[in-house]
Amino acid sequence: MSYGAFETTHAAAEDRYERLAYRRAGRSGLDLPAFSLGLWQKFGTDHPYETQRAIILHAFDLGITHIDNADRYGPPHRAAQQVFGRVLAKDLAPYRDELVLSTKAGNPIGPSPYLKGGSRKSLLNSLEHSLRDLGTDYVDVFYHHRADPSTPLEETAGALADAVRQGKALYVGVSNYSPEQAHEIGELLRAQGVPLLVHQPRYSIFDRSPEQNGLLDTAAADGFGLVVYSPLAQGLLTDKYLQDIPSGARAENSAFLKPDVIDDVYRTRAAALNDLAKQRGQSLAQLALQWVLRRPEVTSALIGASSTWQLDHNVQALDFPDLTDEELAVIDEHGVHGTGLAR
């Protein structure tokens, strides 16, 4: 793959592999950094490119080699892939072999029936577009973004496996699948010689679904890793909303976080968790990140960032002592499942 006429301008930090722990993805041979950079939000055309570029390059310098993307991320759709493609061409092309690039397809990105779902046409067409957006011959992980009950799972599994056989993906994953669906597609993939590498669910102190629905147990039994998203519950597991909704905060205009969930019940619970974090000498965000990573089934936690400072702050979560049984009990008391989830 040609990266165009860009002159590479970034020299990666020489100590980039000394900062982060790396964790094995299930029973595969692939290690991922404990934190992965997600481009779900703030990497569309509505944010400055130079800020986006600085965050991506700083993440790599910190040892965050895994960049998580999707055809849906923007706005508009595909914009986040194109942003990363610019950075790859201009700055990170010499380091492509050190990067784990993932993308997803299947969530709707347009009115056409071929721009959604789990059909062979939808998935493989999207992958071709993603490779062009990213400016690379292959992605390391290709996900089906959301289970599609209208398409036979055998067809979805066959398309994912063919992406690997064609050399356009090295591994495959799924996102937002139930434990039963993940197990079934994992068996179908295994029969084709392409094991399921990772599953990407939502998981946080306020969303215990992977614990309650058995996904953690399924991951351990079936041998796939978990790359968890929204570990900070869209910012609810930070100190941002403990008093009011700050001007310009995500809750003002996000489809994923509504102001009505930021109520007195949420604030009481979040304040208690924040007090625990202060006792440990860390922030609530750092406590929340440390909490999801305590589980051996979790390979990596996806973090977003609006600044390089925020990246540094979140990565420092790894510097604190393990949570004690007493501290975990406090988190269980106040980290009630469903807190802050849309009603």
Angle, CA 44 vertex, CA 39 and CA 47 arms, to 5°? 105
pLDDT tops 50 at residue 317: yes
Question: What is the per-residue pLDDT across 102-116, written as a single tens digit (0 to 9) for each?
Answer: 999 999 999 999 999
Give the separation between CA 188 and CA 155, rounded to whole angstroms: 10
Residues listed for the chain: 343
Query: What one-character DSSP code corresponds to residue 183?
Result: H
Confidence bin at 86 (pLDDT 50/70/90): very high
Structural domain count of the chain: 1
Position 249 confidence tier, pLDDT thresholds 50, 70, 90: low
Contact (Cβ atoms closer than 8 angstroms) between residue 205 and residue 295: no
For residue 208, which of 302, 327, 295, 318 has the smallest C-alpha distance? Answer: 295
How many whole angstroms separate alpha carbon 277 and alpha carbon 308?
22
Q: How far apart are CA 218 and CA 203, in angstroms?
A: 15
In a domain, 125, yes or no: yes
Count the helices and strands in the chain (H runs, E runs): 11, 10
Q: Which parts of the chain are beta strand (E)? A: 22-24, 31-33, 35-38, 66-68, 100-105, 139-144, 169-175, 196-200, 225-228, 298-303
Residue 33 phi/psi, 5° resolution? Answer: -65, 150
Prediction pTM value: 0.93
For residue 260, is it within any domain?
no
With respect to residue 40, please indicate whether it lies within any of the assigned structural domains: yes
Which letter, b or e, does each residue of 77-93 get, where b requires 16 or more Cβ atoms within 10 Å of its Cβ? bbbbbbbbbbbbbbbbb
Residue 298 lies in a domain: yes
Where are any strands of DSSP class E within 139-294?
Answer: 139-144, 169-175, 196-200, 225-228
pLDDT value at 258 more than 80 = no
**Does 268 reside within a domain?**
no
Q: 271 lies in a domain? A: no
* Alpha-carbon distance values, 289 to 210, 225, 226, 237, 295 (Å): 16, 17, 14, 9, 11
Looking at residue 35, its pLDDT comes to 98
Cα-based angle 91, 66, 84 (whole degrees, multiple of 5) = 40
Distance between CA 254 and CA 257 in Å, rounded? 5
Residue 91: inside a domain: yes
pLDDT at 302 over 50: yes
Residue 304 above 90 pLDDT? yes
Domain range spanning residue 297? 22-235+293-322
Report the DSSP beta bridge partners of residue 103.
142
**The pLDDT value given to residue 1:** 43
Higher pLDDT, 79 or 258: 79
pLDDT band, residue 261 (cuts 50/70/90): confident
Assign residue 38 the CATH number of its domain: 3.20.20.100
What whole-number percentage of the chain has pLDDT above 70? 93
Q: What is the pLDDT of residue 8?
A: 63
70 assigned to some structural domain:
yes
